[in-house]
A and B are shown apart, each in its own frame.
Chain A
């Protein structure tokens, strides 16, 4: 790869990492408050669907993004009620949500448009070069020549870090994830905090879905998230449940995916199907490499009851 190709590769890595980052930050909120975020995949898919259908009907980007966040939050609410209120198993509830959303989006896509899935072709959100900075050699092209939602994802990482590390709300959220009994004694309501964290996380994951449907491809197809929610989960583990390391985890997996796309053009003696396995195998290898000892929130996966 020459210089220009490397710049293109890095820029693509960041772009591909964007939906992962939204999903991972959403999952981070949920997990730091003590709920496993296996449902991220479904929340992203809900957001991708809500955004694409709204854009098809209104052609207004703002509304599209709002609806995608709302769809993700609604999906999150299902998990929130089931796990926090009804103390359902976190992992399997997340999976159930994923199936539910796959079915619901596929059904509505046809049902709302008279039985046939409509052809959705939306203009994708274009790159938004930042004046002056975008002209910097190399780095300008990599960092400052990205679509709007990519900047938003990077800003969001900072915001989540501030929220978790520097605010009272963040402290309460972390306390609920580490020791809900103590947080309850200190006057917070762990059930409500967990529900809020899951729903907020769902909204972020929904935006991640919108990145896919509105910024990357400009359409919606059944099950289009294709495991990205699970890769985002892996990124959270790689990032040790901290925002900026999670960003690095997403960039790592974004880089693998960007490389995958390029390798397919190199005419290697390996088939494209083997190459398509790399994101999943890379996630598995990285997780296995990290091994045990990852710093899980202490009370994750447990139910909170008042007595």
Chain B
């Protein structure tokens, strides 16, 4: 987080940097191989501690934690419908979280997923409402590409302010989140709104723009497949490409990155735009697959969930999949728990916040070395 992250050292001789890079890569990958078990233990411990503490809270509120958690589990995995619901919930968290994980890798603290999801949703809605009829079968791909571009553009805007004006990316992205949410309201009270609807929402999309279902008879749409693909792609990007290596070096040692000629501004801009694109897709999937329309506040809280998922996954893209699923199932269960037992579902945020603090502390004292 220091101000001198942008490398000012001249580029070193390419062959020299290359040899160093190869040696470093071998050393680091050996380290990484032994590390995943610790990450699993750490994440489980953080989750268990958080669930334990929230059980105390439930007891304080006069309810039986065992009954409450039983309702939560039933609500998460009790039936095919609940599982479908939870998988749909997980989808935006996975897509947002994997982008945040890549950013955190390079020490870029992008917490703008919320705004990026919102703008992605607006872009997909624009396509679905205005040009769907002329697009025919490619309406869904077109809407998702538009969503990705919208999210990427929103993130690139924040990145540009960060890189040209030196405003910390935490503040840029946070402030733009509020603006992104208001943009949705503006769109819905303006050209995209459904006239006469009691709630700020767009008209229903035409059938061709609805994401197809994955399992007939349930609400499960193909978004989860897109999320899994994105996770695999980001995993390969991080561990198998030069760009991924640059991100890892930037995260491990800004000085080494500067010495190896890795440009922080270029990488930071690219990784933020990429994360923004993924978040934008999440927004697109949400409107095309869940609501079939744009509704006010549809992205509320998604951005923080993405950060929580990335942390729970120890900023490892492939681990974002279980972490995101966990959070989606947790939320689906908590909503059912609220209905059945009357325990407020805002408990999810408590669990998330506690979990994050525990993971951060563990990383801080080096129980889990930040691997490169």
Residues of chain A touching chain B, judged by Cβ–Cβ distance below 8 Å, are 36, 38, 78, 82-83, 86-93, 95-104, 106-108, 110-112, 114-115, 222, 226-227, 230, 233-234, 237, 271, 273-274, 276-277, 280-281, 283-284, 287-289, 291-294, 296, 300-303
B344 touches which one: A82, A100, A111 (CB < 8 A)?
Answer: A111
Question: How far is it, in angstroms, between the C-alpha of A106 and the C-alpha of B347 when the chains are bound?
Answer: 8
Question: How far is it, in angstroms, between the C-alpha of A237 and the C-alpha of B189 when the chains are bound?
Answer: 35
Contacts of B2 in A (CB 8 A): 301-302
Contacts of A222 in B (CB 8 A): 346
Interface size on B, residues (CB 8 A): 52
CB distance from B196 to the nearest CB of A (A): 18
Contacts of A273 in B (CB 8 A): 182-183, 185-186, 189
Whether A103 lies near B348 (C-beta < 8 A) is: yes
Whether B357 lies near A292 (C-beta < 8 A) is: no
Instruction: Specify the chain A residue showing the minimal Cβ separation from B187.
Output: A273
Contacts of A280 in B (CB 8 A): 175-176, 178-179
Question: How far is it, in angstroms, between the C-alpha of A287 and the C-alpha of B174 when the chains are bound?
Answer: 13
Of the listed stretches B7-15, B54-62, B203-211, B262-270, name the one at the interface; the rest are far from the partner chain.
B54-62
Whether A96 lies near B343 (C-beta < 8 A) is: no
CB distance from A287 to the nearest CB of B (A): 4
B350 at the A interface (CB under 8 A): yes
Question: How far is it, in angstroms, between the C-alpha of A106 and the C-alpha of B360 when the chains are bound?
Answer: 24
Question: How far is it, in angstroms, between the C-alpha of A212 and the C-alpha of B301 when the chains are bound?
Answer: 22
Determine chain B's interface SS by DSSP, over half rule: helix
Whether A87 lies near B176 (C-beta < 8 A) is: no
Contacts of B111 in A (CB 8 A): 95
B201 at the A interface (CB under 8 A): no
Whether A284 lies near B172 (C-beta < 8 A) is: yes
Query: B63-101 toward A: CB 8 Å interface, digit per residue (1/0)?
Result: 000000000000000000000000000000000000000
Q: Can you give 25 contacting A-B residue pairs, CB < 8 Å?
A: A78-B357, A86-B361, A92-B307, A96-B356, A98-B304, A99-B304, A100-B352, A100-B354, A100-B357, A106-B346, A108-B57, A110-B346, A237-B171, A271-B190, A273-B185, A277-B178, A277-B179, A280-B176, A283-B171, A287-B165, A287-B171, A289-B165, A292-B165, A293-B166, A294-B166
Rank and list the top 3 A-B pairs by shortest CB-CB distance, nearest first: A103-B349, A100-B353, A292-B166
Question: How far is it, in angstroms, between the C-alpha of A226 and the C-alpha of B181 when the chains are bound?
Answer: 12
B311 at the A interface (CB under 8 A): yes
Whether A230 lies near B171 (C-beta < 8 A) is: yes
Contact (A88, B175) CB under 8 Å given A103-B347, A107-B347 = no
B37 at the A interface (CB under 8 A): no
B365 at the A interface (CB under 8 A): yes
Whether B353 lies near A101 (C-beta < 8 A) is: yes
CB distance from A81 to the nearest CB of B (A): 8
CB distance from A198 to the nearest CB of B (A): 14
Instruction: Specify the chain A residue showing the minimal Cβ separation from B354.
Output: A100
Whether A104 lies near B178 (C-beta < 8 A) is: no
Query: B337-372 toward A: CB 8 Å interface, digit per residue (1/0)?
Result: 000001110111111111011001111110000000
Whether A89 lies near B360 (C-beta < 8 A) is: yes
Question: How far is it, in angstroms, between the C-alpha of A289 and the C-alpha of B164 when the chains are bound?
Answer: 11
Contacts of B175 in A (CB 8 A): 227, 230, 234, 280-281, 283-284
B61 touches which one: A99, A103, A111, A234 (CB < 8 A)?
Answer: A111
B47 at the A interface (CB under 8 A): no
Whether A234 lies near B171 (C-beta < 8 A) is: yes
Whether A296 lies near B3 (C-beta < 8 A) is: yes
B133 at the A interface (CB under 8 A): no
For window 1-56 of chain B, which residues contact chain A by CB distance below 8 Å? 1-3
Contacts of B176 in A (CB 8 A): 280, 284
Contacts of B166 in A (CB 8 A): 291-294
CB distance from A53 to the nearest CB of B (A): 14
Question: How far is it, in angstroms, between the C-alpha of A296 and the C-alpha of B174 when the chains are bound?
Answer: 20
Among B57, B185, B189, B360, the one with the most A-chain Cβ atoms within 10 Å of its Cβ is: B360
CB distance from B97 to the nearest CB of A (A): 13
Whether A89 lies near B363 (C-beta < 8 A) is: yes
Instruction: Specify the chain A residue showing the minimal Cβ separation from B365.
Output: A86
Contacts of A102 in B (CB 8 A): 346, 349, 353
Whether A103 lies near B174 (C-beta < 8 A) is: no
Question: How far is it, in angstroms, between the C-alpha of A121 and the C-alpha of B39 when the chains are bound?
Answer: 47
For window 146-202 of chain B, which residues contact chain A by CB distance below 8 Å? 161, 165-167, 170-172, 174-176, 178-179, 182-183, 185-186, 189-190
B230 at the A interface (CB under 8 A): no
B140 at the A interface (CB under 8 A): no
B356 touches which one: A92, A291, A292, A293 (CB < 8 A)?
Answer: A92
Whether B171 lies near A233 (C-beta < 8 A) is: yes
Question: How far is it, in angstroms, between the C-alpha of A227 and the C-alpha of B172 when the chains are bound?
Answer: 13
Whether B360 lies near A88 (C-beta < 8 A) is: yes
Contacts of A88 in B (CB 8 A): 357, 360-361, 363-364
